Every structure is written in C-alpha cells, then in structure tokens.
C-alpha cells in the first residue's frame, strides 16, 4: 500500500470518528479521545499487517533470485541487454 493512500485514509477515518463522536456526545474532549484511540488501533493493525506480510510463509519466495528478465525484455520491446 502506498504511504500517501494510507495517510489520506487515516485522515479521513479520524475525521469521521471525530465528527460522529462529537455529534453523538456533544463533547470535543470525548471526540478527541475516541479519535486518538481509533488512530492508535489503526496504527497497531497496520504494524501487525506489515509484520504478517513480511514473515508469512510465501514471503521468502520474494527474496529468491529474480528470474532472468533479459530474455523477457528482449522479445519485441526493442531493448537489447
């Protein structure tokens, strides 16, 4: 996932949480508190996802030697390696 997409999504999510909590309670402090809790939960979930994506069983296949791309690039693309 792109970092910019994550940050925009986080900003939108926190705005929705803050707005809906403020409308439900009428308190800015409760809205701020719930927004901080939501952002922390989102960050923990993102960190767990990154750990899972890094250490999952198929992740070591990405570290293996890449296939020979010279043959693939030379077929009709005009690139000679």
CA dist 21 and 60 (Å) reads 43
- CB contact set of 34 (below 8 Å; sequence gap of 6+): 17, 18, 21
What pLDDT was estimated at residue 62? 58
| Angular region, 78: left φ>0, alpha ψ -120 to 50, beta rest | left
- CB contact set of 19 (below 8 Å; sequence gap of 6+): 31
User: Average model confidence (pLDDT) for the chain?
Assistant: 80
Q: What percent of the chain has pLDDT over 70?
A: 70
Model confidence at 50: pLDDT above 80: yes
Model confidence at 57: pLDDT above 60: yes
- Tens of pLDDT, residues 9-46: 989 999 999 999 999 999 999 999 999 999 999 999 98
């Amino acid at each position: 996932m792109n970092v910019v997409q994550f940050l925009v999504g986080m900003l939108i999510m926190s705005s929705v949480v803050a707005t809906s909590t403020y409308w439900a309670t009428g308190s800015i402090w409760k809205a701020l508190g719930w927004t901080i809790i939501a952002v922390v939960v989102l960050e923990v979930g993102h960190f767990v996802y990154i750990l899972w994506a890094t250490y999952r069983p198929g992740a070591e296949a990405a570290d293996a030697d890449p296939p020979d791309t010279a043959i693939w690039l030379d077929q009709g693309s005009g690139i000679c390696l």
